[in-house]
Structure 1
């Protein structure tokens, strides 16, 4: 077992064993809740795929949860995901621990590599290849004694609903500092034909992401007012096959309640997100085994646009470079008509609301952090989505069209 795997195993085991000591005097008064959903879909890139996702709430501790998912396609593509979150070492602690494990193998999948990820590249620059991918991460999140958590402590961070009481971290919201050791890899079956000139060619990396998060939303699942600010710094110390590098990312979201609209619409919300990031070490070099190497990440860890959160009509990592900037806007409504509780399958679960969404994204990447350049020749996406809360988790199904392609996705959580 590698050092990275050992770290994760120790963290999870510590949380579970400590929870056992907390309740050693008898069975806890809570019981775990479970939910499972099978799914199937077809796409050009994956073929016909079947899978399932399952949720266990109260997994070892009343506030903790475990989420797992997996799928297999007729092209031989498979992936698995397991995530555990909100474990604590003591009832009066301010620390929350978690872990995420993702592994996948893609067959005859479209990849954009090297110069094919630049802003002036085209869809025809993709290559078709087989690859194996993995991402493993543990997290240790400290809830700072500010805002709602100053007097309430950890319980304030676990509440889905909060009152927005100000516009600064020391008066409102939940502020936290999170440390996320990670391991990430991608390996192609035939690497000889794959040249990634602008990036490191390392098959695997490891490092630490440190993130500050100020969550001043009134609801973590369906916010109607407030804001959220996230700033992170990621550092990879390098190894025998690649140089060290570091990057920063900033994400800022705002939400405005537009009220109801007669008897047809119970809630209208305008949501806006701004994202930007840079790799300051990009043009510096260091010696690795006697060779001068640029201090750059591989493209799968660079500053990226496309995927589940930004430029959603493009596949994940369609655009990668030193710097990136994007804007996203959504118009979200809760219709008064809510028939899901009466529909087959949906009536097996607690589905308190569904949401209709129209959205638009614009953004671009560049080989230097220049705000003027980052606002020129921006790519765009637009689309619609239906989202609903199932057993406390937001599920979103969305269709996005853009300047190059269109994509349909099903995923969990709001994009911002």
Structure 2
């Protein structure tokens, strides 16, 4: 949902207080626990499909149980949220089919009103190539009482009233109604023949008890020609979204392209303990097909990791820092005779200079803030326990769970109408929280709880936020 047709809409007041995502999984075999998280995260990412963490192409082998052939997993699951109620579903995943690094997954769920169907293929190495990888993923869903902190492109906001979603806006300024949210992405990646991927397009990691035991892929020196891995990405992404109000219907579409470059100079891309990452990208929608709004968005992200080594209780102690900023040069304000403002040529509220959700500003709702420009910073202290309470539980060994990690984090961010220090470095938003994470079958799963001045949110996701 990006730019809506000029029809009537309803602005709904929110109930003040915290809002938490609640979930409960079915009594399926715990052997497929991480598949449940993967399936549920696919459901959650319907609104943040383009914000997932960036990682290099790699193959992870666990010393305790080396992978042989394919892994096929299937899991019934259940979850419940405040707006969607109880939903039942099933998820499946196959990894290593035909290619060691490939993953194929799908999920379907349904509730009283809501439903969703999603499928994807990740890291398919194009035949007769060593460095080209293709991923494609899509989701079709219908949701009761969807919420969007949007409306600034619909009508003129009166002078003196904050535009919905702006830094000074109220969390009671949002659109809410039943509706659909459908998206699909296709991404082509090319691993450059330099650094750790000079000879091959993928990095191979060996883990012992979840910790890197093979040669690190980077981190000793910042030199893309000698250390780390560099990946160029070309992505085409699409979204169609509707809001079904009693007095009208809003809909909008996105058909955009994105060109990006990632340099990962960390020791272990999936769980870095030292080194750094940088990512830069430009996205553009040329108003193709049923997308009727042109926009451009530029972003830059940098992460730095510091290791404090082991201790009596920890196998790793890591300080992780992240900075992200974005700017939409096409974004403009249009004024009427009364001084009202309306936004034109803006990047999507869920795609551009946006904060809020399970990657950035986790104490706020998804896409809570959005504007022409944004700035964001966070610090995480990641404490990996030496003790693994399920390590000697025989009937749980198939989980291949190597460690638990306790994380404390703080976040700060701001959106604004101008990319200036005076605009973006004043009146910052803050939140803080804790996270419990685990490495299971080479996949990091996390449960985050974050507190802000507007809400207490809980998120279940796959992978570190950065």
Whether TM exceeds 0.5 here: the answer is: yes
Seen in structure 2, the aligned counterparts of structure 1 residues 37 and 352 have a Cα distance that, compared at 3 Å, is farther
| Separation (CA, whole Å) in 1 of partners of 2:332 and 2:437 | 42
Seen in structure 2, the aligned counterparts of structure 1 residues 46 and 340 have a Cα distance that, compared at 3 Å, is farther
Q: Which moved more, 1:378-387 or 1:38-47?
A: 38-47
Seen in structure 2, the aligned counterparts of structure 1 residues 296 and 111 have a Cα distance that, compared at 3 Å, is closer
TM-score (normalised: structure 1): 0.82
- Residue equivalent to 1:188: 243
- Larger relative contact order (Cα-Cα within 8 Å, sequence gap ≥ 6): 2
Q: What is the count of residue pairs matched by the alignment? A: 373
- Residue equivalent to 1:59: 97
- Residue equivalent to 1:204: 253
Question: How far does residue 342 in structure 1 lie from its aligned partner after superposition?
Answer: 5.0
TM-score (normalised: structure 2): 0.74
Match of 1:395 among 437, 445, 449: 445
Match of 1:174 among 226, 229, 232: 229
Residue 117, structure 1, aligned to residue 157, structure 2: no
| Separation (CA, whole Å) in 1 of partners of 2:204 and 2:345 | 37
Can you give the 5+ residue segments of structure 2 that lack an aligned partner in the other structure?
1-66, 152-162, 207-211, 335-342
Q: Which moved more, 1:332-341 or 1:399-408?
A: 332-341
Asked if structure 2 preserves the Cα contact closer than 8 Å seen for 1:202 and 1:241, the reply is no
Question: How far does residue 237 in structure 1 lie from its aligned partner after superposition?
Answer: 0.9
Can you give the 5+ residue segments of structure 1 that lack an aligned partner in the other structure?
1-28, 195-200, 286-292
- Residue equivalent to 2:15: none
| Separation (CA, whole Å) in 2 of partners of 1:354 and 1:83 | 28
- Residue equivalent to 1:72: 110
Seen in structure 2, the aligned counterparts of structure 1 residues 221 and 46 have a Cα distance that, compared at 3 Å, is same
Deviations 1:69-111 (A, max 9, x none): 344344x223333221111123652111111112221102333
Question: How far does residue 343 in structure 1 lie from its aligned partner after superposition?
Answer: 6.0
- SS of aligned partner of 2:110: strand
- Residue equivalent to 2:283: 234
| Separation (CA, whole Å) in 1 of partners of 2:453 and 2:273 | 30
| Separation (CA, whole Å) in 2 of partners of 1:402 and 1:345 | 40
Q: Which moved more, 1:34-43 or 1:229-238?
A: 34-43
| Separation (CA, whole Å) in 2 of partners of 1:241 and 1:259 | 51
Question: How far does residue 52 in structure 1 lie from its aligned partner after superposition?
Answer: 4.3
Question: How far does residue 37 in structure 1 lie from its aligned partner after superposition?
Answer: 4.7
Seen in structure 2, the aligned counterparts of structure 1 residues 307 and 164 have a Cα distance that, compared at 3 Å, is same
RMSD: 2.6
Asked if structure 2 preserves the Cα contact closer than 8 Å seen for 1:30 and 1:62, the reply is no
Seen in structure 2, the aligned counterparts of structure 1 residues 92 and 166 have a Cα distance that, compared at 3 Å, is farther
Residue 268, structure 1, aligned to residue 317, structure 2: yes
Structure ranking higher in helix proportion: 1
